[in-house]
Structure 1
Amino acid sequence: MTSEAKALPVRTQKEIGWLKAIKPHAELIAAIISGLLILTGWLFSHNGEQAAAVTSYLLSFVIGGFAKAKEGIEETIAEKKLNVELLMILAAIGSAIIGYWAEGAILIFIFALSGALETYTMNKSQKEISSLMDIQPEEAWLVSDGDERRVHVSSLSIGDVILVKPGERIPVDGSVVKGHTTIDEAAITGESIPVSKQQDAEVFAGTVNLTGSVYVEVTKPSSETLFQKIIDLVQSAQSEKSPSQLFIERFEGTYVKIVLAIVALMMFLPHFLLGWSWTETFYRAMVLLVVASPCALVASIMPATLSAISNGARRGILFKGGVHLENLSHIKAIAFDKTGTLTKGAPEVTDVVVRDDLSVDDLLAAAASIESQSNHPLAQSIVRYAEKHQIPYSAPDQLEDVAGWGVKGIALGKEWKIGKADFVGKEAAHSFYRGVAKQLAASGKTTVFVEDDQGIAAVIALKDLIREETKQALELLQQEGIHTVMLTGDNEMTAKAIAEEAGIDTFIAECLPKHKVDHLKGLIDDYGTVAMVGDGINDAPALATANVGIAMGEGSDVALETADIVLMKNDLPKIAEAIRLSKKMQRIVKQNVIFSITVIMLLIISNFLQAVDLPFGVIGHEGSTILVILNGLRLLKAE
């Protein structure tokens, strides 16, 4: 809060806070008030109080139509082209001129409500950028002449050396010049297994330093880090308009021009060509303006869309807007992130192979004893496995953490070493138990070796297991004729094993966020409309690039904000349900559009033939609106 704000009275500060809170919802509040005024006007009219009814309708015009009228006029002046906003306002005014205040007010109300919902969706879509900014550190420990001082990351230059302590996020891209540690790079690569870092190893901004302190030499300014590029990719992808948006904009301009041109001609040509009186000519022009207004067309889409969105919410599928629901029906291919999406996102022990003279329980007791003192994710997985199988363990008598390699300590009266193959002896590790480690690695598993005073004692395999519902979800999508693809930061061998186990059509391994975006653009070129399913920060650019981004509900805030659709319960089979719901909505929308256009055309023709008066024109126009709304509401109960 600024010093000026702090100086204000408490009451004034509360009022300012209240105004800020309601400002994003101003259009929606205006639309609701407009609707209430319409109801009030109808009650007055029903009781014979016409003056009060007209006043209420007039207030509904002003309150509900102000924002859209301002937007329409400003856009017309700025872009020098007419728009639907302007046409709707003129149609409402036209209905009022000939005495039909209620119809004009209802027209304003429907359009104002639609605009409020569009504004709400746009505001929500901007939040992911601030979420990304919150994750990127703003300060770093700069090391200079043996001293450490806290500085802003923007002041760092290439060649500076910074200190990154355990538990901190790395503030810039760089390379390790001193120290050993383990880093969680899931924010960048999506890989669930932390990576050991030693001297000369490359590190990325936004990743988490887990175990040891390291000195890092800055190799890129803060504005050019890989993490910053993720932010730029999200912004760039969201600024691109979809083909359907461009088509709607072109249709809008053409429709408004045609209607206004015909109304303008109707105001004088029939008088000279058909001998109509000036009163009849103006009357027919106003009737045309009312019946040609796209009220039914607007109602053809919005109620059906909102009904489908409500239906999806009850099933645990959150749609962020109608356009995403519409695009979902055109999906030809879906790309999946692996970690946390197709898999559980955390390594679990799958195999324990021990030497013949040892028992599995004794081996796990010793391993859990030593690993219980480590915060490495693999160590924690081994401890959880021992606890799950009710194997007792105690603190080790002695422990030494060998950064980047593993741990060694004394437990159960013996010295043990647990870690990589190179740590316990590469040749012995690979030859243990007829090369079982190689077989385990070939199936996409991470291997940890255990050594005692007799040599290699065991190999423990861990894997990020596939979710139970993954296979079912992929089968349902393939039944819909959708091609499935896995994009992962894993190596080729691990990715292949996961893809085969899950039953996915194709996979692309070793993907950084930039690669995911490039591959996704290639899929869009090949298949047309493509969805992306992910849960991590690294998935945000791909989610934004895809025609439809789908996030797992338990994923990162950035993924949730960037995505167009969120699976609130991480239930992958819901994707197929969402696609079926989208296709049903599209069928209903097409029915509504064809019906509403047909009614509008019949009313226009009848008006030219002088076969319909204004009351019947309004009944036909508003009646078609009610019918398409009711048809759309069927989606509330869609199975």
Structure 2
Amino acid sequence: MAQHTHAQEHDHSQSEHTHEHNHGNLPVVLFFLGLATFILSYFVSATLWQNILGTLTIFLSGYHIIIEGVEDTINQTKEFKKFTPNVHILMTLAAIGAAIIGDFREGALLILIFAGAHFLEEYAEGKSKREITNLMNMNPTEARLIQPDGSTKIVEVSSLVVGDKLQVLNGDQIPTDGKIIAGFTSIDESSINGESIPAEKTVGDDVYGSTINGNGAITIEVTKDSSETVFAKILELVNQSQSNLSKKATKIKKLEPKYVTAVMIIVALYIVAMPLIFGATWYDSFYKGMVFLTVASPCALAASDVPATLSGISNLAKRGVLFKGGSYLSNLEGIKAIAFDKTGTLTEGKPKVTDVVFIESHQEKAQNYSNIIAAMEKQANHPLADAILNHLTVTEEINLDIDNQIGKGLVSNYQNKDYRIGKPSQFTQVPEELAQLNHKLAEDGKTVVFFSEDDYVIGLIAMMDLPNDNAKKVIAYLHEQGIHTTMITGDAEKTGQAVAKQLGMDEVVGNVLPENKSAIVEELEKKYGSTAMVGDGVNDAPALVKADIGIAMGEGTDIAIDVADVVLMKNDLTKLSYAHKVSKRLDKVVMQNIAFSMFIVALLVILNIVGKMNLPLGILAHEGSTLIVLFNGLRLLKPIKD
């Protein structure tokens, strides 16, 4: 079974070990000094000075290449207790080797181009990371704390505690997560959910740290510690996404030391064998060996995956989809089944009235009955009351005394008539037309309540948690991709089937207890293969962990967001299909890069063996292929059109 845990995902193997080198600006300064000495070597005629300037170029421009090559090889060899060279050591040996046979300027050219390409690669990877980590600059640091006497004081956000009252002026950044207790405004929440249109907010609405207040002044009450805010969780996801490598990147990193060792052995054998067996000169043999070292270096292969993956993660982060690591984005395109929680994920999460029907003989009083129902529901506290009140049009305000009687429902008296609202099972005098309609509506998965006058049912109201607007499009897209879709719900299977039918889903599992959701995901993994789970509640957390890829709705519970691998910051399921498209493009780009880089290496090696390759041409072709791979990966920064 393809079960995973987060500890497993983030416990990188030794082969994923990397060393951070922070030499400041020194390598860049030395690189340009080396470039100057290289150019100067063409303005001197004495061979000795040409060679001295070439040597200076090798050690100045190649400073960080040589240091990293030697240091990392030594450190990793000690750590892994076996010889573990890297690409930098190949370039260092090739440049020094060229100098040994008197080709100082060719060695210098090799180091110059390799170092320049290395800087460009770091810049390209940095661009992808900056697209993500520019979120860091948006982290609020100060807040206007309201004092007991009503004055305000500027304080550090980290010092705030739950319950503090804060003043937020127009144009201010919201300091932390809270609830509006005074005022009305519009807020730019694009940093949280990727939505560019400001959201209207008033008393009672939640606000999020890092978002930007519009043209109204508001007072908010802090509801979360600064380390627990939605934005803090986003930053945590960002940090994780940059350290978690995809499977392809991991395989490449595992392959690199073995590949480099093989190249070094082959070059050594080639240099010795050519003069002894084939009668070549030692100079030609050594020169071709240095060319082989250069062209066989897996620089392009090493750049095939990580820049492309970071670009894809960046693309999605700007659109409100956060991946906790490259492996999840890389693996998303390979899912074979996807399970959805129903309520709040596929549906809007709250019931809406779909039908209000009164019997034929009482149609002329329909508006009066609507006023009575609204007056009764206004004083009720059951979850369906809001749905009914939001739907009914009231033309006359009526004040009623109501009694919520167990086993009967809401009971009231108006103009000497008794009125009651309750479950169908609580009524005995039901006209045939409403009894049949109730049966049909129940078959459609709707919740029905009856309305009676003097114990005779004269009307009904049907409600349903309706599918959200985007769910049907996403399910259709998943079917196009050959992905099996399953709805998991705690509701009656009949209710689930009604929603699933509207959405066109493949399978429904109803009456599911929260603790059984993960078992269903496990069954899907056994039956179909790699499986994703989409949910938003505490009861979805075990299934999100069990799935190969757990996807949380960003407006869901904190625990669901914490354990998931992917977060859709706005409850917009179309972001899921967009992420799948990015994952498919990422897989295509990475495979293009790997195939192209290996083809170029093979071509250059063959040309070198047959004598059609020299060191300068090999350098240009090799480093050029690395840059092509790099920029091909950066194409993933561009948005994908639907």
Matched with 1:504 is 505
Amino acid at match of 2:473: Q
Within 5 Å, give how 1:364-443 maps onto structure 2: 364-386=370-392, 389-393=393-397, 396-400=399-403, 407-408=410-411, 416-421=419-424, 425=426, 427-428=428-429, 433-443=434-444
2:87 maps to 1:88:
yes
Instruction: Label 1:89 to 1:399 Cα distance change in 2 as closer, same or farther (>3 A).
Output: farther
Equivalents in 2 of 1:39, 1:339: separation in Å?
Answer: 59
Instruction: Label 1:461 to 1:276 Cα distance change in 2 as closer, same or farther (>3 A).
Output: same
Matched with 1:288 is 292
Equivalents in 2 of 1:119, 1:74: separation in Å?
Answer: 27
2:302 maps to 1:298:
yes
Matched with 1:207 is none
What count of residue pairs does the alignment treat as equivalent? 491
Equivalents in 1 of 2:114, 2:415: separation in Å?
Answer: 86
Amino acid at match of 1:587: K
Equivalents in 2 of 1:622, 1:57: separation in Å?
Answer: 16
2:556 maps to 1:538:
no
Instruction: Label 1:78 to 1:299 Cα distance change in 2 as closer, same or farther (>3 A).
Output: closer
Equivalents in 2 of 1:34, 1:490: separation in Å?
Answer: 64
Within 5 Å, give how 1:172-211 maps onto structure 2: none
Instruction: Label 1:53 to 1:345 Cα distance change in 2 as closer, same or farther (>3 A).
Output: farther
Equivalents in 1 of 2:515, 2:245: separation in Å?
Answer: 20
Q: State the percentage of identical aligned residues.
A: 37
Instruction: Label 1:336 to 1:602 Cα distance change in 2 as closer, same or farther (>3 A).
Output: same
Q: What SS class does the counterpart of residue 466 from structure 1 fall into?
A: coil
Equivalents in 2 of 1:482, 1:602: separation in Å?
Answer: 39
Amino acid at match of 1:617: G
Equivalents in 2 of 1:282, 1:494: separation in Å?
Answer: 77
Offset of residue 565 of structure 1: 4.4
Deviation sequence 1:553-581 (CA, Å, 0-9, x none): 44344444544444455443454444444
Instruction: Label 1:529 to 1:376 Cα distance change in 2 as closer, same or farther (>3 A).
Output: same
Equivalents in 2 of 1:390, 1:32: separation in Å?
Answer: 70
Within 5 Å, give how 1:505-524 maps onto structure 2: 505-524=506-525
Contact 1:69 1:89 in 2 (8 A): no
Within 5 Å, give how 1:116-195 maps onto structure 2: none
Equivalents in 2 of 1:420, 1:374: separation in Å?
Answer: 14
CA RMSD in angstroms comes to 4.7
Contact 1:334 1:483 in 2 (8 A): yes
The TM-score, its normalising length taken from structure 2, stands at 0.62
Within 5 Å, give how 1:219-234 maps onto structure 2: none
Amino acid at match of 1:368: A
Matched with 1:492 is 493
Matched with 1:212 is none
Q: What SS class does the counterpart of residue 334 from structure 2 fall into?
A: coil
Offset of residue 594 of structure 1: 1.6
Equivalents in 2 of 1:555, 1:397: separation in Å?
Answer: 37
Deviation sequence 1:419-474 (CA, Å, 0-9, x none): 4456xx35457988225433322211223344554344543222110122322332
Instruction: Label 1:35 to 1:597 Cα distance change in 2 as closer, same or farther (>3 A).
Output: farther
* Alignment partner of 1:101 out of 97, 111, 131: 111
Offset of residue 88 of structure 1: 2.6
Equivalents in 1 of 2:277, 2:551: separation in Å?
Answer: 59
Instruction: Label 1:28 to 1:385 Cα distance change in 2 as closer, same or farther (>3 A).
Output: farther
The TM-score, its normalising length taken from structure 1, stands at 0.63
Q: What SS class does the counterpart of residue 573 from structure 2 fall into?
A: coil
Amino acid at match of 1:87: N
Instruction: Label 1:108 to 1:480 Cα distance change in 2 as closer, same or farther (>3 A).
Output: same
After TM superposition, the structure 1 stretch with the greater mean CA deviation from structure 2, 604-613 or 50-59, is: 50-59
* Alignment partner of 1:335 out of 333, 339, 343: 339
2:343 maps to 1:344:
no
Offset of residue 619 of structure 1: 0.7
Matched with 1:324 is 328
Instruction: Label 1:470 to 1:637 Cα distance change in 2 as closer, same or farther (>3 A).
Output: closer
Contact 2:487 2:500 in 1 (8 A): yes
Contact 1:490 1:509 in 2 (8 A): yes
Deviation sequence 1:327-354 (CA, Å, 0-9, x none): 2333333322212222111111112234
Contact 1:34 1:109 in 2 (8 A): no
Q: What SS class does the counterpart of residue 377 from structure 1 fall into?
A: coil
Equivalents in 2 of 1:521, 1:583: separation in Å?
Answer: 24
Offset of residue 502 of structure 1: 1.5
Offset of residue 614 of structure 1: 2.6
Q: What SS class does the counterpart of residue 351 from structure 1 fall into?
A: strand
Offset of residue 363 of structure 1: 3.1
Instruction: Label 1:295 to 1:354 Cα distance change in 2 as closer, same or farther (>3 A).
Output: same
Contact 1:472 1:573 in 2 (8 A): yes
After TM superposition, the structure 1 stretch with the greater mean CA deviation from structure 2, 35-44 or 616-625, is: 35-44
Q: What SS class does the counterpart of residue 435 from structure 2 fall into?
A: coil
Amino acid at match of 2:300: A
Equivalents in 2 of 1:391, 1:31: separation in Å?
Answer: 75
Contact 1:419 1:449 in 2 (8 A): yes
Equivalents in 1 of 2:415, 2:28: separation in Å?
Answer: 77
Offset of residue 273 of structure 1: 4.2
Equivalents in 1 of 2:319, 2:530: separation in Å?
Answer: 24
Instruction: Label 1:428 to 1:573 Cα distance change in 2 as closer, same or farther (>3 A).
Output: same
Equivalents in 1 of 2:518, 2:264: separation in Å?
Answer: 44
Q: What SS class does the counterpart of residue 305 from structure 2 fall into?
A: helix
Deviation sequence 1:113-135 (CA, Å, 0-9, x none): 79989999999xxxxxxxxxxxx
Amino acid at match of 2:496: A
Offset of residue 628 of structure 1: 2.6
Equivalents in 1 of 2:294, 2:456: separation in Å?
Answer: 90
Offset of residue 250 of structure 1: 5.9
Instruction: Label 1:282 to 1:255 Cα distance change in 2 as closer, same or farther (>3 A).
Output: same
Equivalents in 2 of 1:73, 1:411: separation in Å?
Answer: 90
Offset of residue 278 of structure 1: 6.3
Could you list the runs of 5+ residues in structure 1 that have no partner in the other structure? Answer: 1-25, 124-237
Equivalents in 2 of 1:476, 1:525: separation in Å?
Answer: 23
Contact 2:124 2:634 in 1 (8 A): no
Instruction: Label 1:490 to 1:41 Cα distance change in 2 as closer, same or farther (>3 A).
Output: farther
Q: What SS class does the counterpart of residue 481 from structure 1 fall into?
A: coil
Amino acid at match of 2:455: Q
Contact 2:34 2:56 in 1 (8 A): no
Contact 1:28 1:117 in 2 (8 A): no
Contact 1:329 1:579 in 2 (8 A): yes
Could you list the runs of 5+ residues in structure 2 that have no partner in the other structure? Answer: 1-17, 42-52, 97-106, 134-240
Deviation sequence 1:157-193 (CA, Å, 0-9, x none): xxxxxxxxxxxxxxxxxxxxxxxxxxxxxxxxxxxxx
Offset of residue 296 of structure 1: 0.7
Equivalents in 2 of 1:73, 1:361: separation in Å?
Answer: 86
